[in-house]
Structure 1
Amino acid sequence: MNILDPIMIAAHSLGAVVWVGGMFLAYRVLRPAAMEIDPPHRLVLWHGVFSRFFKWVWLAIALIIVSGYWDWSARFSGDVPTLYIQIMQWIGWLMVAFFTFLYFKPFQTFKKAVEAKNFPEAGGIMQKQIRPIIAINLTLGTLEIIIGATGLYW
């Protein structure tokens, strides 16, 4: 075993914790609490939260991709890996695609609307675009964790 193998596994786990855990916190904890705040302040809060969290998501994505393919090559020497790892790979790329779209389209429009104090537009983007994509990625991320934890037993 190479000394980098456990480091890469730890990096992969940390990336998943940051990304999926952050989505869980935002969707299941912060969102309900933020609903008690008036809409303009709530949207400013989300602007700040997403601006900070999304930087961490980019780092998490990089860690997950590099460490995932490191593990793949270390364990399978270029061969096709087991089914559960293939499934995780495709779900992971789907999550990256959803996040990339979220970041470059709805989030950028949301940021501009909040900065212009156009809170009705920002609220609509949040409700109709950002929140559903986060819900989808949270579901996919949870599925990834379940597959990763149980895949060896299939």
Structure 2
Amino acid sequence: MIESVLFTSLHTIAAVLWVGGIFLVYKVFRPTAIEQLEPPQRLQMFLGVFDRFFPWVWVFIAALVVSGYWDWYSRLGGIADASLYMHLMHIIGWIMIVLFAWLYFVAYKQFKTAVQNKEFPVAGAVLNDKMRPVIVINLALGILEAVIGASGPYWVL
């Protein structure tokens, strides 16, 4: 019983912090930075934010995967016995992880290199054309995950 509470709490906290962090960066930091900073300073600020936030995202992902699978196997006896809402959360979660991995290993690497080389137009293009769409998609998917997780037990399919 205590393990279920701990793993469910860990799962919830990791999800809230990941999606909440995305929301904060996209809906609060970004508009404020656009209003108050010139592109070079804005891009350097975003590099600093991502440098600090992205390692945490990897921690959140690890916590979500471990706690999610632990829950399935300990409480339900395996994936086959899970409800549809849990399968939906599983699929959406892995889509988010794959998108973040691409964001981190491809787009963010390009962004970081461009900022460090002071190629600010290139960095801005990477941020706007490659990173931002993935960030927006993961924000939407994360909100959908929260809705499914909170409401799923009530429409158990």
Shift of 1:106: 0.5
Consecutive unaligned residues of structure 1, counting only runs of 5 or more, are none
Cα displacement string for residues 105-154 of structure 1 (whole angstroms, at most 9, x for unaligned residues):
00001000000000000000000011110000000000000000000111
Is the 8 Å Cα contact of residues 18 and 56 (structure 1) preserved in structure 2?
A: no
The SS at the match of 1:35 is helix
- State the partner residue of 1:28: 27
1:134 aligns with 2:135: yes
Whole-Å separation in 2 of the counterparts to 1:112 and 1:45: 14
TM-score, normalising length from structure 2? 0.96
SS at match of 1:148: helix
Specify the alignment match of 1:147 in structure 2.
148
Q: Secondary structure at the match of 1:71?
A: helix
Asked whether the equivalents of residues 110 and 125 of structure 1 are also in contact (C-alpha less than 8 Å), the reply is yes
2:6 equivalent in structure 1: 7
Deviation track 1:36-70 (CA, whole Å, cap 9, x = no partner) reads 21000000000000011000000000000000011
Residue 80 of structure 1: CA displacement?
2.4
Matched residues, number: 153
Q: What's the C-alpha RMSD, in Å, of the aligned pairs? A: 0.7
**Structure-2 residue corresponding to 1:51:** 51
Percentage of matched positions with identical amino acids? 50
Kindly provide the CA deviation profile for residues 6-58 of structure 1, in whole angstroms up to 9, marking residues without a partner as x: 11011101110111000000111111001021000000000000011000000
Q: In the alignment, what sits opposite 1:82?
A: 83
Q: Is the Cα contact below 8 Å between 1:12 and 1:67 reproduced in 2?
A: yes
